[in-house]
Amino acid sequence: MTFRRFLCALLLAGCAAGAAADGVGDRLQKLFGGTRGGGEILDPELAFRLQAETAGPTAVRVSWDIADGYYLYRDKFSFAIGAGAASVDAAKLVLPRGEWKDDEEFGRVEVNTGAVEVLVPIARAAGPELAITLTVGYQGCKDEAVCYPPARKDLPLTLAAWSGTDMAAGDTPLSESDAISARLQSAGFVGSVLAFLGFGLLLSLTPCVFPLIPILSGIITRRGAELTPRSGFGLSLAYVLALSAAYAVLGIIAGSLQLNLQTAAQTPAVIVAFSVVFVVLALSMFGVFELQVPAALQSRLSVLSDAQPGGSYRGAAVMGALSAVIAGPCVAPPLAGALLYISRTGDAFLGGAALFAMGLGFGAPLLLFGLSAGSLLPRAGRWMNGIRRVFGVVMLGVAVWLLGRVLPGPATLALWALLLIACAVHLGALERLPAEGGGPARVFKGTGLALLVYGAALIVGAAAGGDDPFRPLAGLRVGAGAVERLPFQRIDNLSALRQELDAAARANRVVMLDFYADWCVECKRMERNTFPDPRVRDRLRQVVLLQADVTANDPASLEMLAAYELFGPPAILFFSPGAGELRAHRLVGYLGPEEFLEHLALALRS
Amino acid sequence: MKPLALATGAIVIVAMSAGVAYRLSSRVESPPAAEPAMSVVGTQRPEFSLADVDGAPRSVSEWDGKVLALNFWATWCPPCRKEIPEFVELQHRYGERGLQFVGIALQRPDDVRAFIQEHNMNYPVLAGEMEVIRLAERYGNRVGALPYTVIIDRKGRIAYVKPGPLSGTAAEEVIAPLL
């Protein structure tokens, strides 16, 4: 802007020098609209030079270059769509703050001077290029001299094709979720479904699939002697199909109701219910009882598939459906992108089909696993019980991990301790080794003792108020608690959040907004590893640090998440005083200190 | 930095030649067009008819034979509001001797009435929107800014125009000799 002004000045100087003497000053004044009697009253077009250009497919940048000594009333700006299938998203429109002017007649009025730039957000449907007319209204005066009638200008503009993804400006990089949904939108229906299948396959290569393997193994091993490659594959298929169907349901709901499913799956009630399911499954693994499908269902299923014994298939299917939600938090960012995309299309059928395909892709390795498990696992054997117990312990572990989201940290730590000590005792840590005991018994006892000691450490840690299972005694260190936390200001409702953001914008300061919850494991990791880093603290010194606490998962929390179209923590958003949220620099998921510093450098530069 | 310097140099040269070209072309031209605001001075005032704030149509010829001061204004224009008390004072002082102020507001009549009451305006006020903008243009207000004041002598010739605020003393200096 300043450079452009500099060029203008040069241009004028050049003109003046070239045209030299004879009254060119007069002429210039005339050229620029001055009238002799009234001093220099500029044409409104020159007093308020208006420019507009599109800023991506859903925004128009409107700017005024206001001549010195002139001003525009801040409350007289108006923006509307005169023609074209779109509307101005007034809720997201942010006018730059002006300066207060004491007017003898009106009292204090807020006016804008100099350069004013407004990013006008446009709400529109996804689709190809869109021609619109933006009608801009404004009114202003020359200080102490004249006022101009309210001006209305119709600006014809062509918005670029839009993928259905929100984006502040066309040339900025997309955030993770946005990039996924942008790529998906560009394909057609079949393309979308195939893309989701591919995404599923990619997801299956992440550790997200690990929690599912013990579950599936548990189902398969419960078949015991009857297990064949065929039945193993069949069980896996039932499991994977049900998993996919569960995702399909997510997709259909996202496509029709625009519900916030990830958040729903993180409400305490749902989490506790799943933990209970896992404990029950674990107990059945330990042989406390046999899970039996009701006889009526069993017979119905055997009618349906005569050759295959029922019951287990049904169980596999139920577990598959539940597993979709279990894996949910791990695949949160891509799933969020997918669901965001689906809810934007508003197409329930596409949503169902696409997410079903994603489930199939995600489950494909599990099919292979089922097939191989059937051929690799022994038909029978007493030590199969041992494997079942291991799976039982893993399931209990999953239950504790889930409960960790709703329980206080020390309580979770105590549960871990309980689990480890029980394992240790079971492994014979407290039993005397037989005199001529074999190698395996010694290994078991050694492992058991290690678990016992660690379990004891966890209990001590829990008693001291620790909450990190990997560093249970951190709280006991001398000078503990000296690890400095970032001075976040905690906020628990949307209106307070808006107030803080407004205040920061007025103070012309950048804001970093962290969505946090006590049960959010990734948030805790950030708090522990990333935020205490001195370089990070230093980089954030000038930044207003806000933390939206959504631990309660109550309507106020959900409202804050919904306001930013988030599916849950962790999420870190950046706001600049002029441009509002820097959507492209939105951060979803964990970053270590190095990566976070890089991200900060990018986000704070703009 | 170097390409930037080159670019600025080029721009300065282009601008200078543009200036020279302007000078040459303006020399060839017939006498430069007079300023619009000035062009109406000395000409016969355009006819018009406009509703007053009570909705009654008023014609400019109604005030023929008087020294007529047309003041274009609006309540949303702080400089306009500021000068009106001085016009009220002038109307009070010179009305008997043939001065007639007429306010022409660029807005809906409803928005003006309270102001008229409040400031005890002792002269007629006409009001309108687009028609007022066009009327101001016909009276030489090319820019369209307010306030804008036109003073017409007893013979109906435009004697003086003033875009922007007009002080009471300046107005008096113009008006007194015409009475």
- Which stretches of A479-549 are assigned E, i.e. beta strand? 489-491, 511-516, 544-549
- Residue B127 is predicted with a pLDDT of 93
Q: Tell me whether residue B114 is exposed, middle or buried, using C-beta atoms within 10 angstroms of its C-beta: 0 to 12, 13 to 18, 19 or more.
A: exposed
If one counts every other C-beta atom within 10 angstroms of the C-beta of residue B112, the result is 22
Q: How many CA atoms lie within 13 A of B67 on its CB side?
A: 19
3-state secondary structure of A303: helix
Interface of B with A in 50-69 (CB under 8 A): none
- Residue A171 is predicted with a pLDDT of 37
Nearest by Cα to A493 from A548, A413, A429, A416: A548
pLDDT tier, A309 (very low <50, low <70, confident <90, very high otherwise) = very low
Residue A490 pairs in a beta bridge with A547
Q: What is the arrangement of strands in the sheet containing B148-152, beginning at the earlier edge strand?
A: B125-128, B99-106, B67-73, B148-152, B158-163
pTM, entire model: 0.40
Mean pLDDT on B133-160: 91
Mean pLDDT on A60-86: 88
Q: Is the Cβ–Cβ distance between A351 and A254 less than 8 Å?
A: yes
Rg (CA), chain B: 21
Task: Decide if A14 and B26 are in contact by the 8 Å CB cutoff.
Answer: no
If one counts every other C-beta atom within 10 angstroms of the C-beta of residue B7, the result is 11
Of A13, A105, A148, the CB nearest to B144: A148
pLDDT tier, B136 (very low <50, low <70, confident <90, very high otherwise) = very high
Q: Is the Cβ–Cβ distance between B67 and B100 less than 8 Å?
A: yes
Q: Is the Cβ–Cβ distance between A266 and A330 less than 8 Å?
A: no
Q: Is the Cβ–Cβ distance between A158 and A130 less than 8 Å?
A: yes
% of chain B at pLDDT higher than 70:
79
pLDDT tier, A172 (very low <50, low <70, confident <90, very high otherwise) = very low
**Chain B residue with the nearest C-alpha to that of A21:** B23
Minimum distance, in Å, between the CA of residue B45 and any CA atom of chain A: 18
Q: Which of A132-146, A196-210, A351-365, A509-523 has the highest mean pLDDT?
A: A132-146
Residues of B in contact with A16 (CB under 8 A): 19
Q: Which of A39-53, A60-74, A76-90 has the highest mean pLDDT?
A: A60-74
Task: Decide if A35 and B26 are in contact by the 8 Å CB cutoff.
Answer: no
Amino acid B82 reads K
Nearest by Cα to A58 from A149, A200, A172, A142: A172
**Start-to-end C-alpha separation, chain B:** 67
B85 in contact with chain A, both atoms CB, cutoff 8 A = no
- Residue B121 is predicted with a pLDDT of 93
Residue B100 reports pLDDT greater than 80: yes
The pairing of beta strand B67-73 with beta strand B99-106: parallel
Mean pLDDT on B153-168: 91
pLDDT tier, A5 (very low <50, low <70, confident <90, very high otherwise) = very low
- Residue A599 is predicted with a pLDDT of 84
Residues of B in contact with A18 (CB under 8 A): 15-20, 22-23
Residue B13 reports pLDDT greater than 80: no
Q: Is the Cβ–Cβ distance between A134 and A59 less than 8 Å?
A: no
Residue A15 reports pLDDT greater than 70: no
3-state secondary structure of A191: helix
- Residue A90 is predicted with a pLDDT of 78
Express each pLDDT in B36-81 by its tens digit. 445 788 889 999 999 999 889 999 999 999 999 999 999 988 899 9
% of chain A at pLDDT higher than 90:
3
CA distances from A144 to A108, B78, B80, B148, B164 (A): 15, 8, 10, 14, 9
Least confident of A12-16, A58-62, A173-177, A289-293: A12-16
Task: Decide if B14 and A148 are in contact by the 8 Å CB cutoff.
Answer: no
Minimum distance, in Å, between the CA of residue A15 and any CA atom of chain B: 4
Q: What is the DSSP string of A573-585?
A: EEEETTTEE-GGG
Q: Which helix (H) or strand (E) holds A302?
A: helix A295-304
Residue A579 reports pLDDT greater than 70: yes
Interface test with B, best of A10, A35, A48 (most B CBs within 10 A): A35
Task: Decide if B106 and A35 are in contact by the 8 Å CB cutoff.
Answer: no
Residues of A in contact with B82 (CB under 8 A): 104-105
Express each pLDDT in A193-233 by its tens digit. 887 888 778 767 655 566 666 667 767 766 666 666 677 77
3-state secondary structure of A366: helix
Residues of B in contact with A42 (CB under 8 A): 143
B34 in contact with chain A, both atoms CB, cutoff 8 A = no
Mean pLDDT on A396-400: 79
Residue A166 reports pLDDT greater than 50: no
Give the residue with greater pLDDT, A246 vs B155.
B155
Mean pLDDT on A303-316: 52
Nearest by Cα to B171 from B73, B71, B43, B79: B71
Interface test with A, best of B26, B76, B82 (most A CBs within 10 A): B76
Of B12, B74, B165, the CB nearest to A145: B165
Cα–Cα distance for residue pair A490/A246, rounded to 1 Å: 36
Q: What domains, with CATH codes, occur in chain A?
A: 32-159 (2.60.40.1250), 178-383 (no CATH), 489-605 (3.40.30.10)
Residue A572 pairs in a beta bridge with A514, A587
Helix residue spans in A348-474 (DSSP H):
348-376, 384-403, 409-426, 439-463
Assembly ipTM: 0.75
Nearest by Cα to A360 from A189, A516, A245: A245
Full 3-state SS string of chain B: CHHHHHHHHHHHHHHHHHHHHHHHHHHHCCCCCCCHHHHCCCCECCCCEEEECCCCEEEHHHHCCCEEEEEEECCCCHHHHHHHHHHHHHHHHHHHHCEEEEEEEECCHHHCHHHHHHCCCCCCEEEECHHHHHHHHHCCCCCCCECEEEEECCCCEEEEEEECCCCHHHHHHHHHHHC
Least confident of A203-217, A341-355, A485-499: A203-217
Cα–Cα distance for residue pair A262/A564, rounded to 1 Å: 14
% of chain A at pLDDT higher than 70:
65
Mean pLDDT on A562-587: 80
Express each pLDDT in A240-296 by its tens digit. 888 888 888 877 876 665 444 444 555 667 678 767 766 776 776 676 665 444 445
Give the mean pLDDT of chain A: 72
Interface test with A, best of B23, B151, B174 (most A CBs within 10 A): B23
Q: Which of A172-186, A507-521, B18-32 has the highest mean pLDDT?
A: A507-521
Least confident of A378-387, A410-419, A431-440: A378-387
CA distances from A269 to A329, A399, A408, A467, A562 (A): 16, 13, 15, 22, 20
Task: Decide if B12 and A14 are in contact by the 8 Å CB cutoff.
Answer: yes
Task: Decide if B17 and A148 are in contact by the 8 Å CB cutoff.
Answer: no
Minimum distance, in Å, between the CA of residue B46 and any CA atom of chain A: 20
3-state secondary structure of A334: helix
Give the residue with greater pLDDT, A386 vs A534.
A534
Mean pLDDT on A78-84: 85
Task: Decide if B77 and A146 are in contact by the 8 Å CB cutoff.
Answer: yes
Cα–Cα distance for residue pair A245/A204, rounded to 1 Å: 17
Distance from the Cα of residue B78 to its chain's centroid: 16
- Residue A325 is predicted with a pLDDT of 61
3-state secondary structure of A489: strand
If one counts every other C-beta atom within 10 angstroms of the C-beta of residue A159, the result is 24
**Chain A residue with the nearest C-alpha to that of B105:** A149
Mean pLDDT on A289-318: 51
Mean pLDDT on A503-510: 86
